[in-house]
Structure 1
Amino acid sequence: MQNSICTTPRCLAALLFVAVFYFLISLYVPQMSLMPTESFRAVFFQRNTSSNDALLTTSTSQTSTETSSTNKPVAYNINVSPNNLAKDLVNIANMNTLKDVDCRAIYSNSKSEIEKAKQISKTVSTPLDDAFYLNLTTDCNSFVTTRGYILSTLTKEEEEFPLAVSILVFKEVEMVERLLKAIYRPQNYYCVHVDYKSPDTFYRAVSAIANCFPNVFLTSRRIDVQWGWFSVLEPELQCMKELWRYPKWKYFLSLTGQEFPLKTNSELVKIFTAYDGANDIEGTIKRANKERFRSTPPLGIRPVKGSVHITVNRDFVGYILHNETAKILLEWVKKDTSVPDEAFFATLNHNPQLGIRGSYKGEPETDWSTLKPFLTRYKNWGSSNCASGVYVRGICILSLGDLPSLGNARHYFANKFYLSQDRVVIGCLEEKIFNDTRDEYLGVKTFDTTFYANLGFVKNKV
């Protein structure tokens, strides 16, 4: 089991602490409704005003070129009272608890609860629109308060292991914002690329959200993304370039606006610490369509097919941005491959002679054993077990019927979701991520990284 509930006296006392807080807070914090027009309620984080306290956010000089809002939220100092932070985490968990649906029963594959939730979902399918966010973000403190963001690093371990995240978006601003809320921490860095084709109101809404945080920014250049072309890869490279200016982050993750986390920030940090620099990048030669490689790669490099979704250490990104071999390979990928985004990262990671830190020394064949699984993303490719029965480019659009599988998955994020088709699945995932975050902080939930530390691509890395 990855997760376990401890039974020591200390942990039992913590459980009692949680129960007491639940009771007290339930007296004045209502549960979240599925209705998209209702705002969330929260007890806002109180600023520690001591002159000796350093806020755990990016410095003003680092963010002045990316942000324009003067009404910025502030972050907790790491030395804030644990009791106050615990209360805030309980509040936020309560805010993200669905009152009309029993998510735990759905995770346990209760057919009756799944059917009930399906009927509820049909009545609340309209996402919050661009205008809602443009209005709410006119006051950033109000936005952060009503939406329930966690503005603390939570633990020293997380504070000392910042992550860099790219998020490629093009529609459904509410889905984008709920993804950001689920993964946001003040020590991390978030680069958002808005497709050039996206409506202006969508762009302005996403920009307004980003302007409420010192460590969230939009790319300086927008790209017209066309599936199957180099333009799919280009925004990732743009984000890498713009994230590189921040020297503290340890790992880079690539996301899209139709995804949601299956692991908390704390769990991600523990997993990547166990990886000790190993990269998680899909790769295959056997299943590659050789016709997509129109010529032999330069410099004796072996071409490998993979995915644009990656989890890599900082040095891997540095190699892409600054190494001449990477630049030569990128030109080949751009000119002589049919789907560049599937070739570039995978090829770099599976040619160990290049000496890239964290790359894989074994055969580049992703499988579902403990040798070389691909855990960066949960995707259901063409399976008959797609609960919604809806596919886009061969990928199942995940829905509430997939929650039992998602709840047991070892992956970090899941793809893909359409909020306009199923709000309940995101609501339940949201509920779980904030409950887990609360319980981790209170010490009543632990996370075992043994599985991750013993993966073949971890033990067989450059």
Structure 2
Amino acid sequence: MVTGGCKKGLVSSRTTMLQLEGTKCSFLFCLGICILLCSVIYLRTRTHAGPHAQSGPLSCRAFSPYCQTFLPSTTDETQWQHRDCKVESEAGLLEHVSGQVLDCPQLLRDLHFITSSLSREEEDYPLAFILTVHKELALFIRLLRAIYAPHNVYCIHVDVKALPEYRAAVEHVVGCLPNAFLSSRSETVTYAGFSRLQADINCMRDLVKSPVAWRKVINLCGQDFPVKSNLELVRYMQSKEWRDRNMTPGVKQPPVMKHRTEFHHREVMGSHVVQWGKDQKKPPPHGLEVYFGTAYYALTRPFVDYVLENQVARDLLKWSRDTFSPDEHYWVTLNHIKGVPGSDLDGGWDGAIRAIKWKDQEGTAHFGCKGRYVRDICIYGLEDLQWIINKNSMFANKFESGNFPVALDCLELWHRNKVLQQASVPIEPSWLLIAMGNGIVSTSSPSNATAGL
């Protein structure tokens, strides 16, 4: 029989054990909460690393020492490292950009977009851009962030033949930018075909509806990269020479080019253009004289209105549907009509639109391509950069991520360095593309932004 004293002792022991169990559970619960909080703080610290963050994972390739030719000198022991590892791998970039949970502010920081206007002068002269792309997401993002400013407006035409995951990734990035949008109508763009011209027209129809009061529109392809900063573009557009004029370099159509518009041509959709029959086309409408020039331009807003609304422009567009590479005659021909807004009747090849190395211009305009030629156009290599920088055109063409990627690395670094040097606002840490080898980046003011580059 258990006595009353023993019963009291048993109850007391059980109470003590229960208290110990409760204390143990409370301790383990608190420990779990502490571990969780520490983990969250650690991850947030790594994600939102500030100006003294380490330079990034070792998989990021170092910049070539050749870049130092164009950038502020550093000690021999210092090595520049990419902070931009997310655009190193196309697959990794697709995965990062196309995540189901989209945190736009973080994505723009990760991709180093400059999200503030850098000067009042640029704000007062907004530009419009048309980008026609279909592949190489990394190249597209690097181009877009290089030309991006929150006061401009951007129309992105994604080719119908682009892969669905590519289009989805572009939509994600563009969806994070309030002043950028995808063209409301997409074309299956064919090299040298009318579809390339139509893609620009589609974007123009969208741009004129934009609330941004843009002053001039510039067209780009996915293999372009800027040489001038946005501030320099604004000043160039407002210079005495170009303030009220369109920039469409070109001349009267040479005899060697007449076959392009004298005979009917047909697009093999998404592939190439072929001459269709031997019958000659009717002469151009309204007695227009055909000119030949580049497909690239900088056009005033009144000229764009003329293109979209005037019957002469519409008739020429219709006539051009079965010509070869109509974007190389359409803009420049309209720009040589007297009385057209911003027309430039005697411009010739004036206008520093593009730095391009054509194979047939070796020994005259340049001394050879240091990369390789594709369709007689140079895909730039590292040793072409000095020529590009000295030429100081608005943009350079062409670059490829799979061929000579270091050339674009250096040009991009040089361009971002120039952009930040010209800024009249404080520099955000995420705007920097590189870190020094010791991980220290200085960003306290525009005047010392160079130290972080």
TM over 0.5: yes
How much does 1:267 deviate? 0.6
Paired residues, what number?
339
Q: Which residue of 2 aligns with 1:381?
A: 358
Q: Which residue of 2 aligns with 1:413?
A: 395
Is the alpha carbon distance of 1:317 and 1:227 closer, same or farther for their aligned partners in structure 2, counting shifts above 3 Å?
same
| Matched-pair contact (CA < 8 Å) for 2:157–2:203 | yes
Post-superposition Cα deviations, 1:222-244, rounded to whole Å, max 9, x if no partner, equal 21111121111011000001011
In structure 2, distance between residues paired with 1:316 and 1:208: 32
How much does 1:300 deviate? 2.0
How much does 1:347 deviate? 0.4
| Matched-pair contact (CA < 8 Å) for 1:107–1:407 | no
Q: Which residue of 2 aligns with 1:64?
A: none
Q: Gaps spanning 5+ residues in structure 2: where?
A: 1-48, 81-86, 263-281, 425-445, 449-453
Q: 2:132 aligns with which of 168, 171, 180?
A: 168
Q: Which residue of 2 aligns with 1:28?
A: 52
AA in 2 matched with 1:397? I
In structure 2, distance between residues paired with 1:26 and 1:234: 45
AA in 2 matched with 1:376? I
AA in 2 matched with 1:405? W
Q: Which residue of 1 aligns with 2:329?
A: 343
Q: Gaps spanning 5+ residues in structure 1: where?
A: 1-24, 39-97, 118-123, 367-371, 446-462
In structure 2, distance between residues paired with 1:425 and 1:225: 27
How much does 1:101 deviate? 3.3
| Matched-pair contact (CA < 8 Å) for 1:286–1:365 | no
How much does 1:160 deviate? 1.1
AA in 2 matched with 1:281? T
Q: Which residue of 2 aligns with 1:331?
A: 318
Post-superposition Cα deviations, 1:404-455, rounded to whole Å, max 9, x if no partner, equal 111112210111100121221221112112211121125869xxxxxxxxxx
Is the alpha carbon distance of 1:99 and 1:308 closer, same or farther for their aligned partners in structure 2, counting shifts above 3 Å?
closer
How much does 1:339 deviate? 2.2
Q: Which residue of 2 aligns with 1:365?
A: 348
Whether 1:249 and 2:214 are equivalent positions in the alignment is yes
**Secondary structure of the structure 2 residue equivalent to 1:357:** coil
| Matched-pair contact (CA < 8 Å) for 1:134–1:205 | yes
In structure 2, distance between residues paired with 1:349 and 1:160: 26
| Matched-pair contact (CA < 8 Å) for 2:131–2:221 | yes
Map 1:134-283; keep pairs closer than 5 Å: 134-135=98-99, 138-246=102-210, 248-274=213-239, 275-283=242-250
AA in 2 matched with 1:439? Q
In structure 2, distance between residues paired with 1:181 and 1:148: 7
Which deviates further from its counterpart, 185-194 or 238-247? 238-247
In structure 2, distance between residues paired with 1:204 and 1:160: 33
Q: Which residue of 2 aligns with 1:299?
A: 286
**Secondary structure of the structure 2 residue equivalent to 1:252:** strand
**Secondary structure of the structure 2 residue equivalent to 1:419:** coil
Is the alpha carbon distance of 1:347 and 1:201 closer, same or farther for their aligned partners in structure 2, counting shifts above 3 Å?
same
Larger radius of gyration: 2
Is the alpha carbon distance of 1:27 and 1:217 closer, same or farther for their aligned partners in structure 2, counting shifts above 3 Å?
closer
In structure 2, distance between residues paired with 1:296 and 1:28: 66
AA in 1 matched with 2:418? D
| Matched-pair contact (CA < 8 Å) for 1:107–1:403 | no
In structure 1, distance between residues paired with 2:334 and 2:422: 36
In structure 2, distance between residues paired with 1:32 and 1:283: 47
Is the alpha carbon distance of 1:34 and 1:311 closer, same or farther for their aligned partners in structure 2, counting shifts above 3 Å?
farther
In structure 2, distance between residues paired with 1:238 and 1:328: 17
Is the alpha carbon distance of 1:389 and 1:422 closer, same or farther for their aligned partners in structure 2, counting shifts above 3 Å?
closer
Whether 1:356 and 2:380 are equivalent positions in the alignment is no
How much does 1:35 deviate? 4.7
Q: Which residue of 2 aligns with 1:104?
A: 68
In structure 2, distance between residues paired with 1:245 and 1:26: 39
Post-superposition Cα deviations, 1:97-155, rounded to whole Å, max 9, x if no partner, equal x65535132689xxxx9xx99xxxxxx98545422321398221111112221111111
In structure 1, distance between residues paired with 2:55 and 2:64: 9
Q: Percent identity?
A: 32
How much does 1:361 deviate? 2.2
Q: Which residue of 2 aligns with 1:130?
A: 94
Q: 2:385 aligns with which of 398, 403, 410?
A: 403
| Matched-pair contact (CA < 8 Å) for 2:371–2:381 | no
AA in 2 matched with 1:138? L
Which deviates further from its counterpart, 279-288 or 266-275? 279-288
